[in-house]
Every structure is written in structure tokens, then in C-alpha cells.
């Protein structure tokens, strides 16, 4: 996502945070895309490590599912954003619609059985509000290859 944004937005710069092994691959892709001056990959454990600060945008895709304390990451993201900065969270949700659940549960259901976070509709918006975000919006469902996700947006006050 970071590479795609940087390719489409000439003035955009970013930091990609992920597990160290994934960050190494991301850094190779950043180099191959000719974007090392504008992007960097940071290998970190989002449960414990700092993500830096001064950001205008943070995009998290399927991250909360793997956090020991998902609410803590939402708070960390809020603290890392500049005032007015935007947090976008794209995550699968436990829905009651059987057809949609049949697409979500084969991948994310096993995570939920192991105790990982799989929010109900409205859960992510509540987490964002508790962390102090304003102008929280659900941007709807996106059919990602693995499973559908719902995108939520909120701004740091």
C-alpha cells in the first residue's frame, strides 16, 4: 500500500511498520520501486515497539487481529498522528450475514478460535472513539483477496 501511495502521490513520504522479516521484503520492494528516498520499512513488534510520530496518515490493514491489546495499538496510532491526522483501519469483522461470514470465517475464524481479535460491526469505531478519534466513519466493505474487510476512518482531534 505504501509503495502504491508513493507512486501516485509525488510528494508523499512514509514509514512501513511490520514484523522484521516482512519489513526486509518491503525494503527490497521499496528499493526495486526506486523509492528509498521517500519510503522506509521499519521492522518492529507493534505490541511493544514505538512507531515514531508526526504522521499525517496511518493505514493499518489486518493488524488489530494480531495484537495482544488491540485497543493499545489504536491509542498508539492516535499518539503518533499529527493533530488532524487520519487513521484508516481495514479489518475483517464478525458479521451475521451468512454469505459474508462464509467468506470471512475460513481465514479469520481460525484466528478468533485462537483468541485473536475479530471485532463485531461497530467494534472498531468504538475503539477509535475510546482512543480519542473524531469524525469517525465507516467507509464500507472492500473485498480483499483473502476475505472482505471493512474500512474505518477517524481523525486525531
Sequence-separated contacts (24+) of 100-105 with Cβ below 8 Å? 100/141, 100/148, 103/147, 103/148, 104/147, 104/148
The fraction of the chain above a pLDDT of 90, given in percent, is 78
pLDDT tens digit string along 109-153?
Answer: 888 889 899 999 999 999 999 999 999 999 999 998 889 999 999
What per-residue confidence (pLDDT) applies to 146?
A: 85
Assign domain 54-156 one CATH number from 3.40.50.300, 3.40.50.150, 3.50.50.60, 3.40.50.2300.
3.40.50.150
What per-residue confidence (pLDDT) applies to 73?
A: 96
| Residues carrying CATH 3.40.50.150, the chain | 54-156
What per-residue confidence (pLDDT) applies to 109?
A: 86
* 47, pLDDT greater than 90: yes
Q: Where are the beta strands (DSSP E) in 44-147?
A: 55-61, 81-91, 133-143
Q: How would you classify the pairing of strands 81-91 and 148-156?
A: antiparallel
What per-residue confidence (pLDDT) applies to 144?
A: 86
The chain-wide mean pLDDT, for the chain, equals 93
Q: How far apart are CA 131 and CA 69, in angstroms?
A: 13
pLDDT tens digit string along 9-45?
Answer: 888 889 989 889 999 999 999 999 999 999 999 999 9
Whole-angstrom CA distances from 83 to 13, 61, 71, 129 are 18, 22, 19, 15
Amino acid at each position: 500500500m505504501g509503495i502504491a501511495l508513493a507512486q501516485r502521490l509525488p510528494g508523499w513520504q512514509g514509514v512501513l511498520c511490520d514484523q522484521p522479516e516482512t519489513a526486509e521484503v518491503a525494503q527490497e520492494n521499496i528499493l526495486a520501486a526506486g523509492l528509498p528516498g521517500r519510503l522506509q520499512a521499519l521492522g518492529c513488534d507493534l505490541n511493544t515497539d514505538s512507531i515514531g510520530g508526526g504522521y499525517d496518515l496511518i493505514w493499518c490493514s489486518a493488524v488489530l487481529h494480531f495484537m495482544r491489546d488491540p485497543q493499545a495499538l489504536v491509542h498508539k496510532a492516535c499518539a503518533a498522528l499529527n493533530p488532524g491526522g487520519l487513521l484508516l483501519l481495514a479489518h475483517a469483522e464478525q458479521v451475521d450475514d451468512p454469505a459474508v461470514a462464509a467468506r470471512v470465517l475460513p481465514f479469520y475464524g481460525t484466528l478468533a478460535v485462537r483468541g485473536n481479535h475479530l471485532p463485531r460491526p461497530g467494534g472498531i469505531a468504538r475503539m477509535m472513539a475510546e482512543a480519542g478519534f473524531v469524525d469517525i466513519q465507516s467507509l464500507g466493505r472492500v473485498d480483499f483477496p483473502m476475505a472482505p474487510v471493512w474500512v474505518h476512518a477517524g481523525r486525531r482531534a
